[in-house]
Amino acid sequence: MKITNFIRRLRFDHGEMTQEELAHRAGCTRQTIIALEQGRYVPSIELAFKIARAFGVPLEQVFHYEE
Amino acid sequence: MSYKQYMVSRALVVIILAALVAWGNASGNILVLIPGVIIALLIMLTLKRRVKEVIEDERVWSIAYRASRVAYVAFTILAVITGITLANLAGDASDIRFYIGLTLNYSACALVVFYWLAYIYYNKKLGGKQ
């Protein structure tokens, strides 16, 4: 079971949004965005929603749960 | 306040506190250290609140939680083993090693009690049943 995400691709789709800008919008640090993109950290539901909101997409389009 | 300004200010507070501790120890004014440390902590808290950037988040708290947990387990085990060893190595109660061992063992016990109390508090706060 693993939670993967499409943050890197979504940043690209949103005009190469910087990690710094995404972190600012989601209210977390840039290091957390880096850890998320590298798959080394699984966020809380709250942060996951904030990131999805920062991109303006539903949660399922950012995070994917693999069984 | 930017993150850089915060880091510089924090470093200054630490340097001043270190100088105060050194002076207090050298001159024997140990009582000065208590308000000094409290004031330094309050200044650092105030500085942290003034930073506009996000300097810590849930990942940092998660790291701190895991580090605390490891430190707690490591200290408890090491203190118990070292404490028992020292207490047994001491020939009698007049040996300093006996008191060091006893202190370490009581420290480990106190830490476990604090952990237990904190666990009960957070278990209640977060809705768990006893």
For residue B130, being part of any structural domain is answered with no
pTM of the model: 0.75
Q: How many CB pairs under 8 A join A and B?
A: 27
CA distance B104 to A30: 41
pLDDT, tens digit, 9 for 90 and up, residues B76-124: 999 999 999 999 998 788 889 999 999 999 999 999 999 999 999 999 9
Contact B58, A28 (CB under 8 A): yes
Domain CATH number, residue A43: 1.10.260.40
ipTM of this complex? 0.84
The domain containing residue A16 runs over which residues? 2-58
Q: Is B58 on the interface with A (CB under 8 A)?
A: yes
The domain containing residue B100 runs over which residues? 58-125
pLDDT for B56 equals 86
For residue A65, being part of any structural domain is answered with no
H runs (alpha helix) in chain B = 3-27, 33-50, 58-89, 96-125
A contact set with B (CB within 8 A): 23-24, 27-29, 31-32, 35, 41, 43-44, 46-47
Of A31-40, B28-37, B64-73, B74-83, which gets the smallest average pLDDT? B28-37
CA distance B53 to B59: 16
Nearest to A47 by CA among A1, A2, A3: A3
